[in-house]
Amino acid sequence: MSFLLSLSRFIDALNEKVGNGVSWALLISVLICTGNALVRYAFHTSSNAWLEIQWYLFSAIFLLATSYTLRRNEHVRIDVIAGRFSKRTQVWIDIFGFLVFLLPMALIILFYAVPYAWLSLQNQEVSSNAGGLIVWPAKILIPAGFLLLTLQGISELIKRIGFLQGKVHASEFEKHAATPEEEIEAIKAANNLN
């Protein structure tokens, strides 16, 4: 079990880095969207490439941040119902959900996404829109995102099993919601660094 817990920590760290990196894609997307709107209204010109890069960035945010969201336990769930059960029962519900829903779905999508992206890469697929971009980088995001989600699902499964065996504390997989006071302190600390 110690090897599996080490593997889980590695996967968690990987998805934390990817999630933090992808957060910059949101800023870039907002800047491109703003710049594109200003140019369109000021100079009455635009390019499909600017619109497509926004779609690519949105795809990157959505596909690559799902594993980060799962890691932080921020995914959609039915806490109103599950919150009434004991922690042990909640963990069993999570294990059932990972084994029956999350992992099979992610693996099926990964199975079909790899050849889909590979074919696009082999053909050096380009957008059919005038002035459009190459398409294969966006299609590669699909298997990359679902690979990360599969890995994070495995990590979460390992942590839940570790909890049932008494080797992992529930704080390892519970939602890390900061209190308003903690958020204010974090903002103050960030301002002091600047």
190: in domain: no
Provide the pLDDT for residue 144.
96
Provide the pLDDT for residue 154.
96
188: in domain: no
- List pLDDT tens digits, range 25-59: 989 999 998 988 888 888 888 777 888 888 899 99
Structural domain boundaries, residue 20: 2-173
- Which candidate, 142, 120, 133, 136, places its Cα nearest to that of 51? 133
DSSP code, position 17 = H
- pLDDT exceeds 60 at position 194: no
160: in domain: yes
pTM score: 0.81
**Rounded Cα–Cα distance for residues 4 and 43 (Å):** 57
193: in domain: no
Provide the pLDDT for residue 180.
66
**Rounded Cα–Cα distance for residues 161 and 167 (Å):** 9
182: in domain: no
184: in domain: no
- Domain total in the chain: 1
- List pLDDT tens digits, range 101-142: 999 999 999 999 999 999 999 998 888 777 778 889 999 999
Q: What angle do CA 63, 66, 67 make, to 5 degrees?
A: 115
Q: What is the mean pLDDT of the chain?
A: 87
129: in domain: yes
**Rounded Cα–Cα distance for residues 194 and 185 (Å):** 15
167: in domain: yes
Burial of 188 (0-12, 13-18, 19+ CB in 10 A): exposed
Which runs of consecutive H residues, i.e. helices, occur in 44-86? 48-71, 79-82
